[in-house]
Amino acid sequence: MSETKNINSQETGERDEELFDVYELGYHILPTIAQDELEGKVEEIYNLLKDYGAELIMDEAPKLIELAYTMIVQRGGHNDKYDKAYFGWIKFELEKSKVPELQKELKENQNVLRFILFKTVKEDTRANIDLDAILGKNKKEGKNETEINQNEVKEEQDPNSNKDEIDQSIENMVS
């Protein structure tokens, strides 16, 4: 007879962490959803996660974005084309065994254009860079993107490095 682990230990009230992983769900909601209905459609996704016992860690509300390419989706015997979608994401912790069923239900959601679900870490690993502020500052200074990139490259170069010394060091190592 095989023995299965309990999610929550009856003695300590703690769950077995080996059965859980942290996931991030990135999703596109159809752009045909009216703005005043969007919150309800997002709430459906949150409720689905809660129904599976997910513990929410962090999220970002969906925003209407331009897609990198036109998506064509077959529905009702015709092709629907989308150039925009509402994009949002949710990071959560979930029991590993529940992931396949969650994915199946997300695929069946007619309001979700597409989604990606992947394993990640609990910590916030995003760089805290205010790109708009950086680009806005450079625009005020009259710099274009090429000038910005050239300046960044110059800043990354070590002014004390000597090409001849580096070449000689490499030559010594390989000979």
The secondary structure of the chain as a DSSP string is ------SB-TTT--B-GGGEEEEEEEEEE-TTS-HHHHHHHHHHHHHHHHHTT-EEEEEEEEEEEEEEEEEEEEETTEEEEEEEEEEEEEEEEEEGGGHHHHHHHHHH-TTEEEEEEEEE-SS--S----HHHHHHHHHHTT--HHHHHHHHHHHHS-TT--HHHHHHHHHHHH-
Residues 142 and 84 occupy one common structural domain: no
Look at residue 20 and tell me whether its pLDDT is greater than 90.
yes
CA distance 124 to 59: 11
Q: Which of 38-42, 45-49, 124-128 has the lowest mean pLDDT?
A: 124-128
Can you give the pLDDT at residue 77? Answer: 87
Range of the domain at 139: 129-157
Q: Per the domain annotation, does 55 fall within a domain?
A: yes
pLDDT at 85 over 50: yes
The domain total for the chain is 2
Find all residues with CB under 8 Å of 110, minimum gap 6, and list them: 75
What mean pLDDT comes out for the span 18-22? 92
pLDDT digits (tens, 9 = 90+) for 114-158: 999 999 988 876 666 676 676 666 555 555 554 545 554 444 455
- Looking at the domain assignment, is residue 62 inside a domain? yes
Is 111 in the same domain as 41?
A: yes
pLDDT at 155: 46
- Are residues 28 and 113 located together in one domain of the fold? yes
Q: How many CB atoms lie within 10 A of CB 154?
A: 9
* Residue 171 resides in a domain: no
Average pLDDT estimate for 39-54: 96
What's the pLDDT score for residue 165? 76
